[in-house]
Amino acid sequence: MKVPDTQLESSALAPYAMHSSNSTGRQHPEDAHPYRGPFQRDRDRVVHSSAYRRLAHKTQVFTGDMGDYHRSRLTHTLEVASIARTVGRALCLNEDLIEAMALMHDIGHPPFGHAGEDVLNDCTQSCGGFNHNAHALRIVTLLESRYPGFPGLNLTNEVLSGQATRSNKSAPSSEQPLLEVQVVDAADSIAYDTHDADDALELGLLDVKELLGVSLWYDAAKRVQDRYTSLSTEQLRRAAIHQLIETLVSDLIDTTRLRLTDAQVDSPADVAAHADFLVAPSAEFREKKTELEEFLFERVYRHPTVLAERSVAGAALREMFERFSATPQLLPGTATSQMAEKDVARSVCDFLAGMTDRHALEEYRNGVNY
């Protein structure tokens, strides 16, 4: 006999978790599904969207021209979802909501990663600029067209508000987001801190000796070497990555549990009223994470090879923006049908942001006319 989701959640989730029965619904009302809860449906809608599939061929940090080991935007997304679900389960939070938000958190990224985002933001200053977090909301509320009854994916208000929090991080807020939203944000940070370093090592932009000068990496490597003997450099690297993720996730869970207890949080309303994020690393690990992130910024994200790739990709995207802006009739029908009156720049941006890296490069190189 099937047990309704509300009964399962009431027995499995903490009182401060977001329960499906408390969802405020969707912009366009829909009947409840017989065997999927609202956040399960959100997850499935994201996974079946065309924007999600395109993440497989979009840059995370390193472009496809540099090899096939390193993360794409899609594999990064899956790793964030994996870490976030682990943390969510340990804290008795709503895993379906966490997974839905984790899988859509980077869906608004354009081709060529942050290089592409910088160019599109510069090119669209006349119509509000470009931010990948905000663009994700535009995709799931307008640009995806998969259902006859409404534009976008008609996701729950909780998923949309969680993404809105990501797009307005610098804006002052009178209340904190759901714990599930906070978990996704923390998992994203852990994923790129560890995996960007792993990719840089694989590509030869770093070596293990350099990373051993960073305290988080040194501690992880030491714990591995205390457990195993005679590891090759490759074995040490991979084991240290695993250990580092384990260490950061464990600290996050333990610290958050203490904060929840100390703050006497007993409902999502208590979470909203708290002074700051409850899901966060300890002070010790926050400082160590900052050290690692500063190292990655200087040695990886500003590496000459990475900067050269960014420059070439950015120039290509800028040239395409100018070409399509001058001749918007070259845009495909799906783009022109959504073009707001006189808002050519936004329509061109929507079209370019939806491209994969290889589509953008092919478009640039071949000058295809639509």
Q: Is 52 helix (H, G, I), strand (E, B) or coil?
A: helix
pLDDT of residue 193: 93
* Domain edges within the chain: 38-366
- pLDDT digit string, tens, across residues 234-286: 898 899 999 999 999 999 999 999 999 999 999 999 999 999 999 999 999 99
Which phi and psi (to 5°) does residue 110 adopt?
A: -80, 180
- pLDDT digit string, tens, across residues 286-308: 999 999 999 999 999 898 988 88
pTM equals 0.93
In the chain the first and final C-alpha atoms are separated, in Å, by 54
- pLDDT digit string, tens, across residues 104-146: 999 999 999 889 999 999 999 999 999 999 999 999 999 998 8
What is the dihedral angle through the alpha carbons of 209, 212, 213, 215, rounded to the nearest 10 degrees?
170
pLDDT of residue 64: 57
pLDDT of residue 369: 45
pLDDT of residue 167: 80
139: enclosing H helix or E strand: none
When pLDDT is averaged across residues 53-78 and rounded to a whole number, the result is 82
Answer whether residue 173 shows pLDDT above 90.
Answer: no
Could you tell me the fold of the domain covering 38-366?
Hypothetical protein af1432 (1.10.3210)
3-state SS record for 141-205: HHHCECCCCCCECCCEHHHHHHHHHHHCCCCCCCCCCCHHHHHHHHHHHHHHHHHHHHHHHHCCC
Query: Which of 64 and 275 is assigned the larger pLDDT?
Result: 275
Query: Which of 12 and 8 is assigned the larger pLDDT?
Result: 12
Q: Please, which residues have CB within 8 angstroms of residue 278's CB and are 6 or more apart in sequence?
A: 176, 179, 182, 256, 259, 260, 263, 265, 271
pLDDT of residue 170: 63
Q: Is 59 helix (H, G, I), strand (E, B) or coil?
A: strand
- pLDDT digit string, tens, across residues 323-353: 999 988 888 866 665 555 458 999 999 999 9
Look up residue 85 and give its two tokens: 């679900």
As a whole number of angstroms, the distance between CA 43 and CA 284 comes to 34
CA 320 to chain centre: 26
Look up residue 182 and give its two tokens: 């906070």
pLDDT of residue 233: 86
pLDDT of residue 336: 60
pLDDT of residue 229: 83
pLDDT tier at 84, thresholds 50, 70, 90: very high
Q: What is the residue-averaged pLDDT of the chain?
A: 90
Query: Which of 333 and 369 is assigned the larger pLDDT?
Result: 333
- pLDDT digit string, tens, across residues 145-163: 888 989 999 999 999 999 9
pLDDT tier at 29, thresholds 50, 70, 90: very high
DSSP state of 21: G
Answer whether residue 171 shows pLDDT above 80.
Answer: no
